[in-house]
Chains A and B, each alone.
Chain A
Amino acid sequence: MNSLQERDTTLTKAMNKAINLDSPHAIKIDRDYKQTVGRITSTHARIVCKNVHVYYGEKQAISDLSLEIGNHEVISFIGPSGCGKSTFLRTINRMNDTIAGCRVEGEITIDETNIYDKGLDVVPLRAKVGMVFQKPNPFPKSIYDNVAYGPKIHGLASDKTEFDAVVESSLRKAGLWEEVKDRLNEPGTGLSGGQQQRLCIARTIAINPEIILMDEPCSALDPIATAKIEQLIAELREHFTIVIVTHSMQQAARVSNRTAYFHLGRLVEVGETNDIFTNPKHPLTEDYITGRFG
């Protein structure tokens, strides 16, 4: 109990410190950004979240979160289980719509469009913001059809040659082409776990998104498959903005430019990945990355 109170005091102190920080990055921190330590803004922001609250029925899952995510940036969300990082990720392409009783307050804009606007059509939004899930979920179709599915429903290809081209280039980008080029007609579910996950990434790339959300993409994979996915992320960052939720701090350190630390539904600290891991400003972050809890 005591230590909790202590922590709260340190939290407040650290926050005040952050607010008073006068570094060039700390652009006008007003009331909106009070709870987060570090630089929440981005110089060329694409995704802008302001005072986001997410509720599951009565329960509040995210409170007062503000964050900007820049173009061609890889940002990773870390934090203990149940801290709301996956929930927040799903709000970015409105996948939380499929969860009954989920409610979002605040504002999230992507390229200056409010994605929670009543009149917004989620179909183009999700085509623009692709998502890869924790557990590989290829469709029960052939490898070819899995990749061709997105282009088909969005009309991105019109004849067989175009489809072939999209399928090949997506599988190449996902680093899977060499392994599956001779068995494109076999079911995607017959691949190994790591291959399935790369197939899901290829499927997402095929619709040519600008932002890719990854929800713990390696947690169901072995170390070799994980290494392949991480290498893939490093290649993909040239073309896409990537938001990745991960439980592995090493992974966050390896793949991302920026890292955000979540704790109990709050965004506690965000900053350059190197800074976060070498010089965490918030005591909660420090506790987590040094393995004292979480």
Chain B
Amino acid sequence: MSPSVLLLTLLALSFAGYQTGKRRSLKIAGGKISELHSLPSFYGLYASLWCLIPPLFIVVVWLSLESSWLANSVISGLPENLKVQSNSDRYVTLNDIKNVVSGTTLGTQTDPAILNAAEHYRDLQQISRGLLSVIAIALALAGIYFSSRRINKNHRARNAVERVMTGAMVLCSTIAIFTTIGIVSSVLFEAIQFFKSVPVTDFLFGLDWSPQTAMRADQVGSSGAFGAVPLFTGTLLVSLIAMIVAVPVGLMSAIYLSEFASPGFRAAAKPALEILAGIPTVVYGFFAALTVAPFVRDLGQQFGLTVSSESALAAGLVMGVMIIPFVSSLSDDVMNAVPQALRDGAYALGATQAETIRQVIFPAALPGIVGSILLAVSRAIGETMILVMAAGLAANLTFNPFEAVTTVTVQIVTLLVGDQEFDSPKTLAAFALGLVLFIVTLILNVYALHIVRKYREHYE
């Protein structure tokens, strides 16, 4: 029985268990459900959980141990000439055997010893799977029997089921945490690998970025320089331009929407603004590269400025437009949430609308506004597609917005596309950059939380 069939069987059994448990509890109650401790469906769930969880546990453990056991016993059965091998050869042989088993050989002559081993492997696997099926189904049946034996009027099935459910919820909530830990540690370990060949200080403070390393010994040039400062300044420059666009425009539109616009206009304009956030970034990217960048270049020429055709300015402008809704929509929400009583208090003192907005509503909404801006900043720092298409790839160390710059995210993309070996500093540099990016966004988020909390004490 293959694992998927086994799984379906177990599910069917657990459904049967549900029915058994429910029926048994009804029989015990004798028509008076109120005499039972729990509702009949809880007895049903109790039985079905007993029938499902132990076999599933066994299946998971069994399958995870099976492959290594199979490998060991097959390898030990091989003739002497194939047996004494290095680790990687052993891996290749094992792969050959598995390919024969699954029937995906590439038509080449196969060593008869391998064929034998494959036969052996298949037999062993069949035995193991058969055994597993028998054990799992037996456990499921035992579960049904055991649980329905335990059902009586005072049995607390609901509490037991709820305990299991709580456990399941805890498990789900930890998945996100463990995923984060997994991502961080994978980035961290690769970055440490990178820092073994390139010193941390060179990476963080070096002014040259040219990550081309020789892949073969006979390649010329390209010793590789991994000073990331040009990337940091590029990221900073583009984000700065984006924020210069997004913060004033976003805040002004938020103030207009929450304080001046009629409810009807607000209801129509807000979703329209939010559409901006729904446009795929790749669309923004070619809009920036094909429309805005040439326009900026031509405009610059009219003023006698030299603007390269891929400029930080064009990319930053478009990115700024992209993050307007992050600022405006959230800020509008928080300003709307400022209680009417505060507005009334200010108006009753003879404050004008402008004074009320500037001195009462804005400070009261400040934590939310700061939060929205920081959210926009981390979005800007992490943005990739627009920059790949419109900001350029040249790692110029410059603060001139008319020149092409490159950013951390763009370099991660370029380092990881195309031919590569995964242990060269060139590839590993991507992980180091990712780590820096992660740390910066983390600091931004922590700082945003700090500001929000600090002002919340003052303002609520």
The reply to whether chain A is a binding partner of chain B is yes
Report if A133 contacts B (CB, 8 A). Answer: yes
Q: Is the CB of A140 within 8 A of B347?
A: no
Per-residue contact bits, chain B 336-376, to A (CB 8 Å; 1 contact, 0 not): 00011111111111111001000110011000000000000
Q: How many A-B residue pairs have CB under 8 A?
A: 72
In the complex, the answer to whether A95 meets B344 with C-beta atoms within 8 Å is: yes
- Given A140-B363, A140-B458, A189-B460, A123:B352 Cβ within 8 A: yes
B360 near A154 with CB under 8 A, answer no
Q: Which among B348, B349, B355, B460 has the greatest number of chain A C-beta atoms within 10 A?
A: B348
Answer whether A126 and B349 are a contact pair too, CB < 8 Å, given A95-B344, A140-B458, A187-B458: yes
Considering the complex, give the chain A residue whose CB is closest to the CB of B457: A187
Given contacts A95-B344, A187-B458, contact A137 B350 (CB under 8 A): no
Q: Give chain B residues whose Cβ lies under 8 Å from the Cβ of A200.
A: 345
How close is B132's CB to chain A, nearest CB, in angstroms?
Answer: 65
**B349 partner residues in chain A, CB cutoff 8 A:** 126-127, 130, 149-150, 153, 203-204, 207
Known: A123-B352, A124-B350. A98 touches B363 (CB 8 A): no
Question: Is the CB of B459 closer than 8 A to any CB of chain A?
Answer: yes
Q: Which B397-429 residues sit within 8 Å CB-CB of chain A? A: none
* A177 contacts chain B at the CB level, 8 A cutoff: no
Q: Given A137-B339, A141-B363, A149-B359, check contact A127 B350 (CB 8 Å).
A: yes
Query: Measured between C-beta atoms, what is the minimum distance from B63 to chain A in Å?
Result: 59
Cβ of A87: which chain B residues have Cβ within 8 Å of it?
Answer: none
Complex CA gap A130/B344 in Å reads 11
Min CB gap A143→B, angstroms: 12
Among candidates B342, B350, B351, B355, residue contacting A140 with C-beta atoms closer than 8 Å: B342
- Give the residue among B344, B347, B350, B363 with the most A Cβ atoms within 10 A: B350
List the A side residues contacting B347 at CB < 8 Å.
95, 98, 126
**Nearest opposing residue in chain A for B338, CB measure:** A140
Task: Please name all residues of chain A whose beta carbon is closer than 8 Å to the beta carbon of B457 when the two chains form the complex.
Answer: 187
Question: Chain A residues near B344 (CB, 8 Å)?
Answer: 95, 98, 131, 133, 137
When the two chains form their complex, are residues B460 and A126 in contact, meaning their CB atoms are under 8 A apart? no
Q: Mark A99-124, 1 if CB is under 8 A from B, else 0.
A: 00000000000000000000000111
Q: When chains A and B are docked, how far (Å) is the Cα of A137 from the Cα of B349?
A: 12
The answer to whether B341 and A153 have CB atoms under 8 Å apart is no
| A150: nearest chain-B partner, CB-CB | B349
A60-103 vs B, Cβ < 8 Å mask (1 yes, 0 no): 00000000000000000000000000000000010100100000
Residue with the greatest number of chain A CB neighbours at <10 A, chosen from B340, B345, B355, B459: B345
Question: Are B348 and A139 in contact (CB-based, < 8 A)?
Answer: no
Judging by beta carbons under 8 Å apart, are A137 and B351 in contact? no
Q: Which residues of chain A come closer than 8 Å to B352, judged between CB atoms?
A: 123, 153
Known: A133-B341, A153-B355, A187-B458. A139 touches B346 (CB 8 A): yes
Option from B343, B350, B364 in Cβ contact (under 8 Å) with A150: B350
- How many Å from the CB of A200 to the closest CB on chain B? 7
Neighbouring A residues of B355 by C-beta, 8 Å: 153
* C-alpha gap A130/B352 in the complex (Å): 14
With A140-B363, A140-B459, A189-B460 already in contact, the answer to whether A154 and B345 are too (CB < 8 A) is no
User: In the complex, what distance in Å separates the CA atom of A140 from the CA atom of B364?
Assistant: 6
**What is the interface of chain A mostly: helix, strand, loop, or mixed?**
helix
Residues from chain B with Cβ under 8 Å of A141 in the complex: 363
A207 to B364, Cβ gap below 8 A? Answer: no
Contact B363 A126 (CB under 8 A): no
Would A139 and B342 count as touching, CB distance under 8 A?
yes
Give the residue among A126, A138, A140 with the most B Cβ atoms within 10 A. A140
Given known contacts A126-B350, A149-B349, A149-B359, A137 and B458 CB-to-CB distance under 8 angstroms: no
How far apart sit A131 and B341, CA to CA, in the bound complex (Å)?
A: 12
Q: What distance in Å separates the Cβ of A251 from its nearest Cβ neighbour in chain B?
A: 21
A93 CA / B339 CA spacing, docked (Å): 20
- Give the number of residues in B that approach A within 8 Å (Cβ atoms): 23
**Least CB separation from B360: chain A residue:** A139
Any chain B CB within 8 A of the CB of A173? Answer: no
- Which of these, A93, A125, A137, A207, contacts B345 with CB under 8 Å? A137
Q: How far is the CA of A95 from the CA of B339 in the complex (A)?
A: 16
With beta carbons under 8 angstroms apart, the residue of B342, B359, B363, B460 that contacts A137 is B342
| Complex Cα spacing A95 to B349, Å | 10
When distances are taken between beta carbons in the complex, the residues of chain A under 8 Å from B459 are 140, 187, 189
Residue contact B341 to A137, C-beta cutoff 8 Å: yes
Q: By the criterion CB–CB under 8 Å, are B348 and A140 in contact? A: no
Determine the chain B residues whose CB is within 8 A of the CB of A124 once the complex forms. Answer: 350
Residues of B with C-beta under 8 A to A139? 342, 345-346, 360, 364
**How near does chain A come to B460, taking the closest CB pair, in angstroms?**
7
| Nearest neighbor of A152 in chain B, beta-carbon distance | B359
> Nearest-CB distance from B61 to chain A (Å)?
57
A135 within 8 A of B: yes
Bound Cα distance from A203 to B348, whole angstroms:
10
CA gap between A139 and B359 in the complex, in Å: 10
Q: How many angstroms between the C-alpha atoms of A93 and B460 in the bound complex?
A: 28
B340 → chain A closest CB, angstroms: 8
- How far apart are B238's CB and chain A's nearest CB, in angstroms? 36
Chain B residues, CB < 8 A from A189: 459-460
Determine if A95 and B348 form an interchain contact, defined as CB atoms under 8 angstroms apart. yes
How far, in Å, is B261 (CB) from chain A's closest CB?
12
Contact B343 A98, beta carbon cutoff 8 Å: yes
Q: Is there contact, CB below 8 Å, between B363 and A133?
A: no
Given the known interface contacts A135-B341, A140-B459, the answer about A153 and B350 at a Cβ–Cβ threshold of 8 Å is: yes
Q: Cβ of B348: which chain A residues have Cβ within 8 Å of it? A: 93, 95, 126, 130-131, 133, 204
Q: Could you tell me which A residues sit within 8 Å of B by CB distance?
A: 93, 95, 98, 122-127, 130-131, 133, 135, 137-141, 149-150, 153-154, 187, 189, 200, 203-204, 207
Which 6 pairs, one residue from A and one from B, show the smallest C-beta to C-beta distance?
A: A127-B350, A140-B459, A131-B348, A137-B341, A126-B350, A137-B345
Mind listing 14 A-B residue pairs with CB under 8 Å?
Answer: A123-B352, A125-B350, A126-B350, A127-B350, A130-B348, A131-B344, A133-B341, A139-B346, A139-B360, A139-B364, A140-B364, A187-B459, A203-B345, A207-B349
Other 10 A-B pairs with CB < 8 A, given A126-B349, A138-B345, A203-B349: A93-B348, A95-B347, A125-B350, A127-B349, A127-B350, A149-B349, A154-B350, A187-B458, A189-B460, A204-B349
